A and B are shown apart, each in its own frame.
Chain A
C-alpha cells in the first residue's frame, strides 16, 4: 500500500528527469503535500520573488530578517524588484506562450486583485498546496478566501494586509482639510497644483479613484455582486464630474498624471505636492526618518472610510524552484515573521491574532511606528472592503475614457 504512491512518484520523477532535469521530480514531491519532502527539495534553492520594489523598509526586511529566517532551511531569496505586478504576470504568460512549462524564471509573486484574477484565468498558478503555518489564518474570513471577489481556491497564500490612507504635510494642510474627499478637493482648489494621484491602471491610482468613488456613492455596499449593476452608471457619472471639476487644480493643471505611485511619492518628497493616497501607510515612517519626507508628515482617513485588502503570494505552475517558494510562503505566515514585518513597515498582519497566544498578541499591540503613521486603531476603524475585480477593471477603463480622455 505504501509502495504504490512512492512508486508513482518515482516513475513520474524518472520520466520527468529524462524530459527536463531534476526539477520536475522535486515538483511532484511538492505537489504531493508531503512537507518534509518539500523541505528536502527546497534545500539549496534560491527563490526568484517578483515584488514591488519601492518600499525600502520591506526590501530591507526581506534581505536581512527573512533571509536569516530562511537560512536554516537552506533557502535564499532573490528579490526581483518590479514597479508593477502586471510585469511579472506578463512574464509568466509570455513564458507559457513560448512553451516554457517548467524551469520558469518566476518562482513567487506578491499579488492580489486583478493580477491574481488574470493569472487564474490563464491557468498560471500552482494550486492546492497546504502550508503548515496556514493554521494561523482565519479561513472563515472572506478577505482571505476571496481576492477582489475571485475565490482563492488554494492558489495563493495570504501575506499581509494593506490599509490605504492619505499622507499629507501637516504644515500645509489642517486636519479639517483631510477629513473627507470634499474637504480635500476644496483645499486643492484653494491651493492649485499641490495634489495628484497616479493614472489608473496603476494599483494605487486605481485605489485613489475607488476611494473617491466610495465617497461619491456612499460606500461599496451597492456594488457587492460580481456583475456591474445599473446603480454603478449613475454613481460613476457623478464621480467623473467631481474629478473633472477638480482636475485643473491638480498638479500640472491635470494635463498629465504621474505614471506610478513611485512618481507620486517622489513629488511629495521633493515638495512639489503636499498630499497623496497610499496603500502603505507604515512605510512613511522610514522615509521621514531618512529625511526624504518632511517631519511634519501625517496621515488621515476620510470619513467615508479607507479601502483595505489582503495581499498574497502566488507560485506560478512553471516555477523552477517551487519547493523553496512554498517554504518562503509558509515562513511568511509564521507569527514571528509577521511581527517582524509589522515592525519593519507597518504591514498589518494577515494572520488571525485570535489564534495566537496572549503573549504573542501583546507583542503586536505594543508596536509603535512614530507620529507620522496612524495607529492601527484609526487605520482599521472605518475600513471598507475592495470592489469585485470586474468593477475595478470597469472603473479603470471608464476613468481613462471620461477623465483622461485619450
Chain B
C-alpha cells in the first residue's frame, strides 16, 4: 500500500493546473499593472462594474448563452436518451454502424462539417438566429449524451421495468418512476456535458450566428482582442465560473461514484 510519498508530485500537478488561472484572476482586478510588476500596482473594480454596464453587453450575452445552453441541453437529452437506450439495451444488426454514425460528430471537428451548411442557413433565414445556433450546437452534443446514456442503459437492469409493468404501471409511469430515477446519475452527467459543450462553443456560434447572436464566448473573444486585459479577464471570469460551479454540484450529487463520468464506455 503506497503512502503519500513524493507529495511534491501531487503539489506540482495542482500547481500546473492552477498557475494559468492566477494572472487571469489578478488581471480582472488590476487597475494598473505595467511590465515588469509581479503584482498589480493598483487595484480596481471597473472590470467587475463593466459586467453590469449595458455597454459591455455581458449581461445580454449571459442571457443568450444560458438560453441557448438550456435549449441545447433539453433537445440533446430528448434526442440522445432514446438513442442511448436503443444502443445500450438492444442488440441489432447495424448497431455498430449506428453507433459510429452517432459518435462520429464528437470526433470530426464541427467547423469542418458545418462550414458547407452556412449558405443554406443564410438563405432559409436561420443564420443570425438563436434557433440556427441551437440547431448546429446539437451536432457536437448529441454524441456525448448518446454515449453516456448507452453506457448507463447497458448497466440497467431492464427487468425492473418488466416488473413494474406487471404490477400494473403504464409505460410512462414506468419510465418516470423506475427507469429515469435509476439513470439519474448518468442523466446528470449527460446534461452537464451537453450544457458545457454549448456554453463553451465559439466557432459554430460564429459561423451560423454571424456575430449577431452574441454568446459569452463571442464577447470574450472580442475583449480578448482589445487593449484592456482587465475587461477581458473580468468577462473571462463570467465565462468560467458557471460551468465550474455546475461541475462542483454534479460531482457532489454523484458523490461516491469515483468521478469516472462514464466517459470510457464504448
Contacts and interface: CB of A to CB of B under 8 A. Distances in A.
Partners in one complex: yes
A94 B119 contact: yes
Contact of B122 (A87, A100, A268): A100
A290 interface: yes
Given A59-B55, A60-B55, A271-B35, A98 B123 contact: yes
Contact of B227 (A81, A99, A292): A292
A88 B222 CA distance: 15
Given A64-B55, A291-B42, A105 B228 contact: no
Contacts, number: 74
Given A91-B210, A95-B122, A105-B128, A260 B225 contact: yes
Interface string B203-226: 000000011101000000010011
Interface stretch (A48-56, A116-124, A146-154, A238-246): A48-56
A304 interface: no
B34 interface: yes
A263 B224 CA distance: 10
Contact of B211 (A80, A99, A263): A80
B125 A290 contact: no
Given A64-B55, A83-B222, A99 B42 contact: no
Interface string B87-125: 000000000000000000000000000000001001101
Interface string B38-67: 000010101000000011010000000000
A266 interface: yes
Interface size grouping (class) on chain B: 20 to 34
Interface string A72-100: 00000001111100010001001101111
B227 A269 contact: yes
23 contacts: A53-B222, A54-B225, A56-B228, A63-B55, A80-B211, A81-B222, A83-B222, A95-B122, A97-B119, A98-B122, A98-B123, A99-B123, A100-B122, A103-B125, A105-B128, A263-B225, A265-B227, A266-B226, A266-B227, A272-B35, A291-B31, A291-B32, A291-B42
Interface of B: 31-32, 34-35, 42, 44, 46, 54-55, 57, 119, 122-123, 125, 127-128, 210-212, 214, 222, 225-230
